[in-house]
Structure formats: C-alpha cells, structure tokens
Amino acid sequence: MTRKYFAGALALALLVFTAGTQAADKSHGLSAFGDLKYGADFKHFDYVNPNAPKGGAMRTWGIDSFDNLNAFILKGVKPDALSLIHATLMERAMDEPDALYGFVAKTVELPADKGWIIFELRTEAIFNDGTRITADDVVFTFNILVEKGHPQYRIIFAGVKGVEALTPSRVKFTFKEKGNRDLPLQLATLPVLSKSYYSKAPFEKTTLNPPLGAGLYNVEKVDPGRAMIYRRVADHWARNLPVMKGRYNFDTVHIDYYRDRDIAFEAFFTGAYDFREEFTSRSWATQYDKPAVNKGLIVRQTLPDETPSGVQAFFFNMRRAKFSDARVREAIDLAFDFEWTNKTLFYGLYERTNSMFENSALAAKNRPSAEELVLLEPLRGKVPDSVFAAPYKSPVTDASGGNRGNFRRAAKLLRAAGWTIKNNQRVNAKGETLTIEFLLFESTFQRIISPFVRNLKRIGIEATIRIVDVANFQLRRQQFDFDVVVQRYTMLNTPGIELSNYFGSKWADVPGALNLAGIKNPAVDHLVGKVISAKSRKALITATRALDRVLMWNHYSVPQWYKGEHNIAYWNKFDRPRIKPRFDLGMLDTWWFNPEKAAMIAAGTAPPKP
C-alpha cells in the first residue's frame, strides 16, 4: 500500500456532477452527464457479493511512518486507509464513470439552474458513539474544513456562497454562480464530522487520538509511526444500505509500516502481512521465485486497471528562475532516456507517458480536431505553435544508452536559452551554474534517477539527489522548497475543479496546494475553465484534449511511465466477487476472508486458486 498524502476526505476532489431525473425532484443518486446505472430500488452494486461473510483480517503495509490521525488538515503525515472511519453524504459507484448514491444522505435535490443543492439525511444515520448525524453537523463540517482545514478545501468549495440547516435532516448549499457542473458532487462526497466532538477536541491540531467518525470502521489500535488497526463496527447503521451491502467484510484491517521497501518486501513472504500491490517492475519480474509462491500459498495476478492513469512525472518548480524558460525544461527532458530505463531497469513492463490524462479517452493522441481548434485558435501566439500540429510525444532513443542525438538537441536548446559551457558546466550570463536537485523521501527511486543524473552531467547540468525523511519531504513539498519532485496526478473519468488545484494560476503560491510546478498560464486557466463548464461528455473530451496539448507542449514536467493494470500478490486466504469493480481494485471493500483457506495455508497446503 503506497503513501497517500491527502487520503480520505481529500478524495472529494475527485468527483463531478449533474442531477438525477427532473429538476429539483428528489433523487437517490447523481451523475455527471446522464442516466444512473442503478435505479432507486437497487439492492447492491453489481460488483459485490451481497452474501459475503464477515470476519477475519486483512493485513497490509505502508511505507515509512505517520504522526497524525486528523485527515483534514495540512499538518502531519496521515496513515493509510484513514477514510475507513468516516462517512460521506454519498458514495461513489466504482462501475460508473462519475455516479454517486445515498450514504448519510438519503436523497438529494437540485434545481434546473443548479443554483443550489439540498441533501436530506437519513434519520437512522449516527456517529459511532451513537449520537445522531444532523444537518448542523454537515454545516459545521463544511465551515470548519473551509476555515481551518487543508487549503484544498478552500479551492474545492470556493464556489459555495453559503450553507444552512433547513431542518434537523435537511441541509442546503447555495452557490455563487448557477450552472456549476462540478461543485454539487464535490459536496456530495463531503465527510460528515461531529460538531459536538469537535467542540471539545481542537480541530486544527495534529493528534494521535482516534477521532470520532461515522464510517464502517473505528480505530482500534495506534502504534505511533509503526502500525494501525481498524475494527469493523459490527452493527453499523449503514451495513444493509444498497451502497454498503456486501462491502467492508473484514473484521479488522491491519497496516504495518516499514522504513525500508526491501525489508517490507521480504516480510511479505514470511507471512507478516497478506496483500501487496507491486509497483516495482524489477521485483515483479525477478523476485517472486519464492517457496510460498511456488507452493501456491501466495497467488500472483495481473488485473485490468481501467481508471485513467493520469500522469506521473518529474515536475519542475518554475518559481525558481532557472526553470522559467521552456527550452531549459525541454532540454532536461531530452536527457531522460526512458527506452534504456524501461529495458534495463523495468524489464519492458511500462509504456511512456505522453499525456496528463494517459490511459483514457481524454488524452490528446491525434492532431487537434475541428472542435479542439475552436478552443485553441483564440490562444494562438499565447501557447506553443506545436499545440496546433501533432500530439505531444516524449523524446525517443534506441535504448542503447548512448542518446547522443538527444544530447545534441538539448545542448542547442540550452545555448539558445543563454546557458553556455564553462569548465564543463552550464552557466548563464551572470556566471550562475545550472544545478538540479531531485528531492525524495525514500531511496528506492534513486536507482532510476541516478542514470538521469549522469545524463544531465553529460550536457553540463550539475544534478544531485537529496533524500529526506517523509515529514521533511512533505513540509518542503507544501512550501514549494524544491527544484524537482516526483508527483502523480490521478485523473478522473470526469475531470473538473481539481484541475484548478493541479494547474491553476490562483493556487500556484498557496502552501499545500497541488500546483507543484507553479504554473501561471492564462491559457491553461482558460482551458481548465472550459473543462469545468463542459455541458456534455463530448464537450468535456474536447476541452480536456485541448488542455492536455497546452500542458504537455509547455514542458512543465519530464513525463515518466504507466501501465494499465494492477500487479497484485496475496496469501490465498481470501475470496472475491466474480466481477471486479471497473474503476477500482476493490480489495479492502469487496473481498472477504475464507477461514478454510487460511487453515490450509497454516497446514502448508495450497488452497484452490481463485
């Protein structure tokens, strides 16, 4: 399980919206552009086993440590899976691109002009201390998140004019502008916090005391920085709701933290934990020849991943003058030899990323369409000319490790940008040396960056790697105190407001915002606006592809790689539904424990394969 710096409630930056059937009628669900898959009388999601037995444990792992159980503030490092203890107004269906159905909220109302939204809460909804969830709690949650929460909440909810409790079970949000497609569903994913609890507990401070939630699990044990144990609430009020039936079947979820990935890897084969998704290609290709695997006690599988891969890349901090010239950024891109890296280090398991919306229909893979040109032509002269021609494609090499042609192109770009060679180093007219520091919080990535560093030195750039502890890394990242960091932006099937946080000028200098590159480009802002305001999926795809071209051809990053699949390994003591959720792995919320299989493993006998 990988670190999720903004876990739990920050997932509410990932959803978008439109109403159900008729304007202002009550609806059981919301979707972005059209019909809902599940009707008002649906019993459960198609990708679950409604009769899945409850019991047993799922044990997994995390990297480094944590020091804060408050998921909603900027400070501190949060543990994985903290969202298990919180309940949201509505729950996302993972087999639809962007649909949500009632969880704490039973129904939702939205007028035709989308000027406001009303959620009606379930009268049976309670926090895990037995107190009822009311509209006042929702009002409190919204206000405290915007006033004292992580800066992302101010970004996400900037379009909300006000919130009020109409009755104990009805809460209304009024918007500054009508017609916002995205904002209502952002609100639908709002986690509900207890006003009473936080009248006694300071919200804005880090804590290792388990907070009160209304989710399917409570925190059972905290071993600071080392382990988390969550326990299922056996008689939870929502256990038989359509959105929860057959889900969250493990009695306990254990997460052990390891300072070193290699130690964590070896611990898996000793039975220290049950499940890992493998993100290291070398390990997947060469290091699973182990007795437990060969005996069939551990299962290895590759499952499809239909979610947009988004982008993982080396992002430049353009707040620093040395990265302000796109020619410098392009030259650095030319020094990264993906083909050699994929062949030598990744065993050919990856594809090169050429889009911010990779592995989806949103990626710009062909020449601009006529519809895209309608959006792009008014920007001519304000965006690179290449935007109007072929789609972006990262530099390519022959995988030999030579890369001389790209080095020559890079040198030419650097000279044109005013960086000349002196004593084998690039210097500008002021005599300043061109240096790059790659900031990391663990050593695993070092083997990938080190060849990149050597290539940069061949074109006169002094490059180094700095590894700091995770808390220091997070602080420097939040304060934009870095040259280059690795970042992955996981894009949605229906992107919206979150793009402003990733790429918008307004948030480029807000500490904790996710515009790590410091992009301040009116053309990008304009196209983000077009994505957010798109009225149909066709218009959304058109606007997103146009935005993709502008982002990629400005060379704000050095794109890395992706694969559209999950490589997973687990001790064969679990069962799972016949259907995998289309847009999720579904391990924690749809699998279940099989005690007969667990007994066979304990006896050293291979259970039947799934």
Between 131 and 14, residue with greater pLDDT:
131
Mean pLDDT of 97-118: 95
> How do residues 547-602 score in pLDDT, each as one tens digit?
999 999 999 999 999 988 899 999 999 999 999 999 999 999 999 999 999 999 99
Share of residues in the chain with pLDDT > 90 (%): 87
Mean pLDDT of 140-148: 98
- Quick one: pLDDT band at residue 48, thresholds 50, 70, 90? very high
- Quick one: pLDDT band at residue 24, thresholds 50, 70, 90? low
Instruction: Check residue 226 and give its pLDDT.
Output: 95
CB-based contact 261:277 (threshold 8 Å): no
Largest CA-CA distance found in the chain, in angstroms, rounded? 74
CB-based contact 479:485 (threshold 8 Å): no
Q: Which CATH superfamily is domain 311-561 in?
A: Dipeptide-binding Protein; Domain 3 (3.10.105.10)
Instruction: Check residue 250 and give its pLDDT.
Output: 98
- Average pLDDT over all residues of the chain: 93
Mean pLDDT of 268-296: 95
Instruction: Check residue 35 and give its pLDDT.
Output: 79
Cβ burial, residue 359 (10 Å; 0-12/13-18/19+): buried
Crossing angle between the packed helical segments 522-533 and 537-553, to the nearest 10 degrees: 160
Beta-strand relationship, 252-258 and 57-63: parallel
> How do residues 349-359 score in pLDDT, each as one tens digit?
899 999 999 99
Domain 8-198 grouped into CATH 3.40.190.10: yes
- Quick one: pLDDT band at residue 527, thresholds 50, 70, 90? very high
- Would you report the helix, strand and coil content of the chain in percent, each value rounded to 5? 30, 20, 50
Instruction: Check residue 18 and give its pLDDT.
Output: 35
- Quick one: pLDDT band at residue 9, thresholds 50, 70, 90? very low
Q: Which residues contact 253 (CB under 8 A, 6 or more apart)?
A: 57, 58, 59, 60, 81, 84, 217, 229, 230, 588
CB-based contact 561:312 (threshold 8 Å): yes
Instruction: Check residue 482 and give its pLDDT.
Output: 98
Q: Which residues contact 308 (CB under 8 A, 6 or more apart)?
A: 357, 358, 359, 360, 362, 490, 491, 492, 493
Give the separation between CA 258 and CA 470, rounded to whole angstroms: 12
For residue 422, the one-letter residue type is K
Cβ burial, residue 487 (10 Å; 0-12/13-18/19+): middle
Mean pLDDT of 305-316: 92
Please check whether the two domains, 8-198 and 311-561, share a CATH topology: no
> How do residues 451-471 score in pLDDT, each as one tens digit?
999 999 999 999 999 999 988
Instruction: Check residue 1 and give its pLDDT.
Output: 43
Q: Which residues contact 244 (CB under 8 A, 6 or more apart)?
A: 91, 103, 216, 236, 238
- Quick one: pLDDT band at residue 224, thresholds 50, 70, 90? very high
Give the separation between CA 467 and CA 465, rounded to whole angstroms: 7
**What tokens appear for 558 in the block?**
């050095």
E-state strands within 82-131: 90-92, 100-102, 105-109, 116-121
Instruction: Check residue 307 and give its pLDDT.
Output: 86
CB-based contact 304:565 (threshold 8 Å): yes
The pLDDT of residue 21 is above 60 = no
- Quick one: pLDDT band at residue 442, thresholds 50, 70, 90? confident
Instruction: Check residue 22 and give its pLDDT.
Output: 38
- Name beta bridge partners: 571: 298
Return the H-helix or E-strand segment holding 566: strand 565-571
Mean pLDDT of 135-162: 96
Q: Which residues contact 235 (CB under 8 A, 6 or more apart)?
A: none
SS3 label, residue 268: helix
- Quick one: pLDDT band at residue 12, thresholds 50, 70, 90? very low
pTM here is: 0.85
Mean pLDDT of 483-489: 96
CB-based contact 419:434 (threshold 8 Å): yes
Give the separation between CA 330 and CA 395, rounded to whole angstroms: 9
Give the separation between CA 585 and CA 580, rounded to whole angstroms: 7
Instruction: Check residue 25 and give its pLDDT.
Output: 81
Q: Which residues contact 258 (CB under 8 A, 6 or more apart)?
A: 61, 62, 63, 64, 264, 267
Instruction: Check residue 358 and give its pLDDT.
Output: 95
Per-domain boundaries in the chain: 8-198, 311-561
Q: Which residues contact 283 (CB under 8 A, 6 or more apart)?
A: 265
Cβ burial, residue 156 (10 Å; 0-12/13-18/19+): buried
Instruction: Check residue 312 and give its pLDDT.
Output: 95
**What tokens appear for 211 in the block?**
């907070």
Q: In what order do the strands lie in the sheet with 462-467?
A: 462-467, 435-440, 484-489, 311-316, 557-559
